Structure 1
Amino acid sequence: MQLLESHSVTVAMSCAIVGLSRCAYYYQPKLLDDSVIISVLDAITVRHLRWGFPNCFNRFRKLGYQWIHKCVYRVYCELMLNLKVKGKQRIPPRTPEKLSVPNKSGECWSMDFMRDSSRNQRRFRTFNVIDDFNREALGIDIAVSLPAGRVTRYLGNLAEYDGYPLTIRVVNGPEFTGKTFIDWAKSHGITIDYIKPGSPYQNGYIERFNRTYRTEVLDLYLFNNLEQARRITEEWLTIYNTERPHEALNNMTPFEY
């Protein structure tokens, strides 16, 4: 403007002298302030509390506004609407020990609990027991509550047919760490092998069995009552032990292996 007024030169020459584009010289801001952007951003974020900037900006375009990405993001940041992003937890590299396979049946049993609910929303638990040697499912007890006393009685019933194991591999749940369970194991000369907390891979045999039981029974049926759940489970256990092949057992069933 000073060149135009002082030296009476053209706009084109003035822009060339100062190195300014004529488009920039003639540019007029479309918005006097950011009030419109702020009002639209407020309307979107109030309705969609967990939307981040990409979703908000896409909504801008859906509503017909043509503001550029940088302009909207600048206002978005000034309003401090950025959602906090939880960083990834750095987990140290793990070298899990390979599960040892027992040399004979009855050498080590693995066991764990699962949860589910019936049609009337009544919650129940299952107590799953397998033999690590041939992955045989020794039994599944189902009840609303499974305290340590019931667990030990159920294991005693299984031992009447299969004998007591030398070792039991379990998690650090209260049913297995209490005095009732520990005294029962000592009375029958059973060693308790507790896995490390937060290390389910150390109990991989029963974890794999739980997944199969979940997908083939618990997620497949909507039980009317516990009796129906027990009946269907018993039928499935027979199929699991006598018909279902296991890749880890050279595609043989637990009974065949």
Structure 2
Amino acid sequence: MARKGGKRHSLEQIVRKLRDAEAMQNAGKTIGEVCQVLGVSEQTFHRRRHQYGGMKADEARRLKELEQENAKLKRLLAEAELDKAMLKELAKGKLLSPSRRRAAVDRLEKSFGVSERRACEVAEQPRSTQRYQPRVSSDEGPLVSRMLELVRKHPRYGYRRIWFLLRREGFRVNRKRIYRLWRSQGLKVPKKQRKKRRLGSSANSVTRHRAEYKNHVWSWDFIHDRTASGVPVKILSIVDEYTRECLSLRVGRHCRAEDVLDVLAGLFAERGLPGHIRSDNGPEFIAEAMRQWLHRMEVGTHYIAPGAPWENAYGESFHSRLRDEFLNVEEFASIGEAQGLAAQWKEDYNERRPHSSLGYRTPAEFARTCAASARATPSLQQHTSDQVPILS
């Protein structure tokens, strides 16, 4: 019960006034006189007497406590339901970085109308992290621009290889920063599903006969493509398995055994004789005249088992890079254009493309650190002049 214009009475005070009103009624006063003394309207008096009549002060106090506890439980239940709803909203995406958590907290504040403190508690985000404003370095603009230029030039390079290229150009930046900028720009190289590799049973596989020095083992194979007009393109690739250098990319409409022999003769004159050459069982490689000529050159042959390309792992790996970074990117208008672009890509692969298995050095850089181990070939010109067979 409260007087008009006065402060609100507590429940205990209301109970005491009802007790006084009952005493005044027993003394012969009317309801109107009682209400005048108490300073309330008759309607309020009857409502209070109906609610709290006959109640003692301690009972009223306990009722008030129960009402407060009930209100608190309702509030906690409402907050728990709200937290549950916010957690469902957060479950729509992974919160793996502070920036994503900042965005999630902002979304909760706008969607549910809660405070920053409440949203941070639900998202388990420190408020200092939420309010952090990243500082942009003065060199970030040129760095991002150059990174995007390299990505456009090499669309199949990942952030580690791009980072190494930037370091080589003089940017003083670590790999983690490049990864952050890479993610902020939405860059991603789609991952390929790796096929299961088996050891193989052939004694000529890379796992059983591994290259131990420069010019120890070469790998050669063919890869095919087409021009824009549908003309077939056949590419002969030769790779040094130890240095990962691409020694030859012969591009033509066809490539017969004598063409392969001409390429080998040029490489032997330029680099010296390799110890062995690994290949599959293609007709160009197993031709009798080719085998005899390699035997006279004292070059061993490692023919992998039929149907086991994983035994020629270095050649297959090189072809995957060739296909992914060159053949799938370039469209050839003619055979001549394919030859010119292949020569450019070969130079870029050897001289500028960092190779992860070589400690992010280029194959040419790594080859220069290797001791010269090719066998001397003083009689090579004599061999190629009077021992090269004429193949048909």
TM-score (norm 1): 0.61
The equivalent of 2:270 in structure 1 is 161
Contact 1:149 1:180 in 2 (8 A): no
The equivalent of 1:191 in structure 2 is 300
* d(CA) in 1 for partners of 2:249, 2:255: 12
Contact 1:99 1:202 in 2 (8 A): no
Which of 201, 204, 227 matches 2:310? 201
Letter in 2 for 1:191: G
Shift of 1:183: 1.4
Which of 345, 354, 358 matches 1:245? 354
* d(CA) in 2 for partners of 1:159, 1:111: 14
Structure 2: runs of 5+ lacking an equivalent: 1-196, 367-392
Greater RCO, CA 8 A, separation 6+ = 1
The equivalent of 1:172 in structure 2 is 281
What secondary structure does 2:324 align onto? helix
What secondary structure does 2:363 align onto? coil
* d(CA) in 1 for partners of 2:286, 2:294: 11
Shift of 1:94: 4.5
What secondary structure does 2:211 align onto? coil
Q: Give the direction of change, closer, same or farther, for the CA distance of 1:226–1:99 in structure 2 (3 Å limit).
A: farther
Shift of 1:140: 0.6
Structural mapping, 1:1-257, within 5 Å: 94-96=198-200, 98=207, 100-257=209-366
Letter in 1 for 2:312: N
The equivalent of 1:45 in structure 2 is none
Q: CA RMSD in A?
A: 1.6
More strand by share: 1
Q: Give the direction of change, closer, same or farther, for the CA distance of 1:102–1:228 in structure 2 (3 Å limit).
A: same
Shift of 1:170: 0.5
Contact 1:99 1:204 in 2 (8 A): no
Shift of 1:159: 1.5
* d(CA) in 1 for partners of 2:249, 2:208: 23
Letter in 2 for 1:106: N
* d(CA) in 2 for partners of 1:176, 1:94: 24
What secondary structure does 1:217 align onto? helix
Letter in 1 for 2:295: K
Q: Give the direction of change, closer, same or farther, for the CA distance of 1:99–1:132 in structure 2 (3 Å limit).
A: farther
Contact 2:351 2:364 in 1 (8 A): yes
Shift of 1:99: 5.9
TM-score (norm 2): 0.41
Letter in 1 for 2:337: Q
* d(CA) in 2 for partners of 1:236, 1:178: 30
* d(CA) in 2 for partners of 1:244, 1:111: 20
Shift of 1:112: 0.4
More helix by share: 2
* d(CA) in 1 for partners of 2:199, 2:244: 24
Shift of 1:101: 4.0
Structure 1: runs of 5+ lacking an equivalent: 1-92
Identity %: 29
What secondary structure does 1:124 align onto? strand
Shift of 1:95: 3.8
Shift of 1:255: 1.3
